[in-house]
């Protein structure tokens, strides 16, 4: 039987959400297309994870080896190549994560696999797989088809698919016997360094007033700080504001920053790329101010104002002050 | 130390409304300013900083239409010594692997200790060309790089993972690094630099110049194909508060009051 193979992702002792999101997607795809779902678990001391995976897959392949302790794209790529060559799954799914983007493209080149990255949806039309991916910073969806090949490779975007409940019938666990090379001298893992902790913990705030590229200049920051103060909240931001040096890294909301779940999230001048959305979409109430009516942030928001933030923010401050008075 | 930087020109879409072209295969480019891809700008700056400190030259390489000469000239105005553009219809509509294969054919003949690229582009967003390029060149690679520390024949890099966790790696050179935004502060070109760069040569390379079979690059050399573009489906979406800034923010203030935030 044809199989869909999902590479389980884990870091520092935990399976990551993307693993279960991909397995959920694979199961619904497999049901429609008559394909089984296999989870591939690579690592050192990871045998216990098979238990959690087997209720989401028909089979769990485990390769537990000391050389797989640290994630190293060079080592993982070589092992994956061997596994894919011997099993020839019709589809391989790897997370579109810092781990996956470092690994998948090289694999596509060496094995000459048709490859699409950062897919947000997958569907079979007959035997043909179609992938949906987003371009132009989430403003356009593209449908991609693949050349005829025994195996197709995709990376799949985190948070693009909900996690389905586990199946009652658990899959089998198979130990793999594949040679694992030592970490090559050309790329060696040294250590993980935790992000620095700042003065303000934005994950603890009930109200987060967040700014993006639309702020244009650091000089415009004080009016945002005043608005946050009026609402008893903290100022946070999307990545471009940290890159520009307007705010420190610990204020960044998004996949490479913090995940926040405040009661109110006010997104000002943030278009809403998925990296940002994944860090704030669990907020109770989301309000967006953006000049592009089609900005992706409006799909996540509860309330929106289409307009120039330089005019809206001062007006909003004034209205809040009036209500207070 | 010599560094090759692969970069590209993209339309500025972060702040703009994007409209699909009538054939649904592309977008309306009119009215969208063209600029260097943001992450590539950081990669270029990193290369300039490193060659200024360790002596050497920066060569910039792009694959793209005639308009991309502008980003190559801007790169030279900032200090790049040489510029190469892969040009010609054979390269059109390549997928990330086909683009990487073409770039590799141009890069392999250059002298370099490092190859830097932006970690992703704002148009196609593949986050794949740089790492595929590394594989084509058979070089070690790392992406999402936000830290670099040069050693003797090696470089210690910090990769930014989810949650801001940094993964530190030691890489032998030459290697290919995908540079993440924020690693440095990109400079602006000087007026004098721009004037000088306008007269500089750009080396144009066609597929045959690079010894590439035309069927191995561009659309023909791609194993994925773009079928159609569409606007993302709008779910329930936001309740838009209409009116002038005073009116819409008045409505918002009222909502915030009802919810107990004011």
Residues in chain A within 8 Å Cβ distance of B142: 73, 102, 187
CATH number of the domain to which A264 belongs: 3.40.50.1220
Q: Are B162 and A312 an interchain contact pair (Cβ–Cβ within 8 Å)?
A: no
Total count of domains within chain A: 2
Its domain, for residue A170, covers 3-175
Phi, psi of B43, rounded to the nearest 5 degrees: -65, -45
Q: Are A302 and B238 an interchain contact pair (Cβ–Cβ within 8 Å)?
A: yes
- Cα(A164)–Cα(A25) distance, integer angstroms: 9
Confirm whether the ipTM is greater than 0.90: yes
> pLDDT of B197-208, one tens digit each?
999 999 999 999
CA-nearest of A34, A7, A23, A91 to A56 is A23
On whether both A300 and A155 belong to a single domain, the answer is no
Residue A1 pLDDT grade (very low, low, confident, very high; cuts 50, 70, 90): low
Of the partner residues B14, B128, B226, the one whose CB lies closest to the CB of residue A142: B226
On whether both A166 and A208 belong to a single domain, the answer is no
Average pLDDT value for chain A: 95
Q: Are B249 and A315 an interchain contact pair (Cβ–Cβ within 8 Å)?
A: yes
> pLDDT of A35-93, one tens digit each?
999 999 999 999 899 999 999 999 999 999 999 998 899 999 999 999 999 999 999 99
CATH number of the domain to which A28 belongs: 3.40.50.620
Closest CA–CA distance from residue B58 to any residue of chain A (Å): 23
B6 lies within 8 A of chain A by CB: no
On whether both A67 and A162 belong to a single domain, the answer is yes
Asked whether residue A191 is domain-assigned, the answer is no
Q: Each residue's pLDDT tens digit in chain B (262 positions)?
A: 999 999 999 999 988 899 999 999 999 999 999 999 999 999 999 999 999 999 999 999 999 999 999 999 999 999 999 999 999 999 999 999 999 999 999 999 999 999 999 999 999 999 999 999 999 999 999 999 999 999 999 999 999 999 999 999 999 999 999 999 999 999 999 999 999 999 999 999 999 999 999 999 999 999 999 999 999 987 778 999 999 999 999 999 999 999 999 9
On whether both A145 and A280 belong to a single domain, the answer is no
> pLDDT of A132-187, one tens digit each?
999 999 999 999 999 999 999 999 999 999 998 887 778 999 999 999 999 999 99
On whether both A112 and A239 belong to a single domain, the answer is no
Closest CA–CA distance from residue A172 to any residue of chain B (Å): 31
Q: Are B249 and A319 an interchain contact pair (Cβ–Cβ within 8 Å)?
A: yes
Asked whether residue A183 is domain-assigned, the answer is no
Asked whether residue A48 is domain-assigned, the answer is yes
On whether both A262 and A154 belong to a single domain, the answer is no
Q: In this predicted structure, what is the pLDDT of residue A197?
A: 80
On whether both A282 and A163 belong to a single domain, the answer is no
Q: Which among A175, A210, A240 is the end of a domain?
A: A175
B15 lies within 8 A of chain A by CB: yes
Q: Which among A175, A191, A216 is the end of a domain?
A: A175
> pLDDT of A241-283, one tens digit each?
999 999 999 999 999 999 999 999 999 999 999 999 999 999 9
- Cα(B100)–Cα(B115) distance, integer angstroms: 13
On whether both A40 and A170 belong to a single domain, the answer is yes
Asked whether residue A84 is domain-assigned, the answer is yes
Asked whether residue A113 is domain-assigned, the answer is yes
User: What CATH code is assigned to B3-216?
Assistant: 3.40.50.620
Beta pairing partners, A131:
A122, A144
Residues of chain B with CATH 3.40.50.620: 3-216
Of the partner residues B14, B126, B162, the one whose CB lies closest to the CB of residue A137: B14
Q: Are B167 and A320 an interchain contact pair (Cβ–Cβ within 8 Å)?
A: no
On whether both A70 and A154 belong to a single domain, the answer is yes
On whether both A116 and A238 belong to a single domain, the answer is no
On whether both A153 and A220 belong to a single domain, the answer is no
On whether both A20 and A126 belong to a single domain, the answer is yes
């Amino acid at each position: 039987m044809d199989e869909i193979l999902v590479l389980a992702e884990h870091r520092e002792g935990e399976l990551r959400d993307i693993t279960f999101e991909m397995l959920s997607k694979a199961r619904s795809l497999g049901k429609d297309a008559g394909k089984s779902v296999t989870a591939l678990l690579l690592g050192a001391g990871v045998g216990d994870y098979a238990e959690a995976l087997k209720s989401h897959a028909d089979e769990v392949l485990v390769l537990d080896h000391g050389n797989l302790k640290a994630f190293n794209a060079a080592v993982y790529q070589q092992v994956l190549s061997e596994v894919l060559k011997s099993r020839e799954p019709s589809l391989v799914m790897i997370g579109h994560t810092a781990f996956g983007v470092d690994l998948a493209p090289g694999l596509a080149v060496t094995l000459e696999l048709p490859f699409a990255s950062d897919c947000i949806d997958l569907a079979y039309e007959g035997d043909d797989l179609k992938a949906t991916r987003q371009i132009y910073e989430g403003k356009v969806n593209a449908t991609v088809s693949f050349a005829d090949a025994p195996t197709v490779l995709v990376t799949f975007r985190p948070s693009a698919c909900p996690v389905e409940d586990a199946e009652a019938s658990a899959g089998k666990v198979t130990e793999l016997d594949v040679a694992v090379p030592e970490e090559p001298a050309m790329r060696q893992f040294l250590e993980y360094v935790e992000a620095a902790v700042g003065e303000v913990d934005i994950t603890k705030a009930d109200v987060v007033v967040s700014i993006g590229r639309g702020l244009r200049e650091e000089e415009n920051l004080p009016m945002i700080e005043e608005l946050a103060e009026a609402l008893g909240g903290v100022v946070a931001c999307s990545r471009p504001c940290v890159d520009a040096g307007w705010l420190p890294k610990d204020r960044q909301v998004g996949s490479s920053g913090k995940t926040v779940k405040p009661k109110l999230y006010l997104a000002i001048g943030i278009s809403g790329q998925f990296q940002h959305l994944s860090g704030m979409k669990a907020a109770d109430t989301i309000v967006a101010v953006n000049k592009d009516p089609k900005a992706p942030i409006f799909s996540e928001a509860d309330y929106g104002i289409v307009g120039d933030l330089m005019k809206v923010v001062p007006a909003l401050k004034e209205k809040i002050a009036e209500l207070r008075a | 130390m010599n560094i090759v930087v692969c970069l590209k020109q993209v339309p500025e879409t972060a702040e703009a409304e994007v409209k699909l072209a009538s054939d649904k295969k592309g977008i309306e480019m009119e009215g969208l300013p063209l600029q260097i891809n943001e992450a590539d700008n950081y990669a270029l700056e990193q290369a300039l900083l490193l060659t200024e400190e360790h002596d050497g030259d920066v060569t910039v390489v792009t694959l793209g239409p005639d308009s991309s000469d502008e980003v190559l000239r801007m790169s030279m105005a900032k200090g790049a010594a040489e510029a190469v553009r892969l040009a010609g219809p054979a390269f059109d509509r390549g997928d990330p692997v086909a683009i990487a294969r073409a770039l590799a054919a141009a890069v392999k003949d250059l002298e370099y200790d490092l190859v830097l690229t932006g970690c992703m582009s704002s148009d196609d967003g593949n986050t794949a060309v740089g790492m595929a390029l590394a594989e084509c060149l058979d070089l070690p690679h790392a992406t999402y790089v936000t830290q670099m520390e040069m050693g003797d024949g090696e470089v210690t890099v910090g990769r930014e993972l989810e949650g801001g966790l940094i993964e530190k790696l030691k890489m032998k050179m030459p290697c290919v690094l995908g540079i993440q935004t924020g690693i440095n502060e990109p400079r602006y070109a000087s007026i004098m630099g721009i004037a000088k760069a306008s007269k500089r040569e750009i080396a144009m390379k066609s597929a045959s110049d690079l010894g590439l079979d035309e069927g191995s690059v561009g659309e023909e050399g791609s194993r994925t194909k773009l079928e159609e573009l569409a606007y993302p489906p709008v779910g329930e979406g936001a309740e838009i508060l209409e009116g002038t800034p005073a009116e819409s923010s008045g409505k918002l203030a009222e909502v915030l009051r009802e919810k107990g935030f004011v």
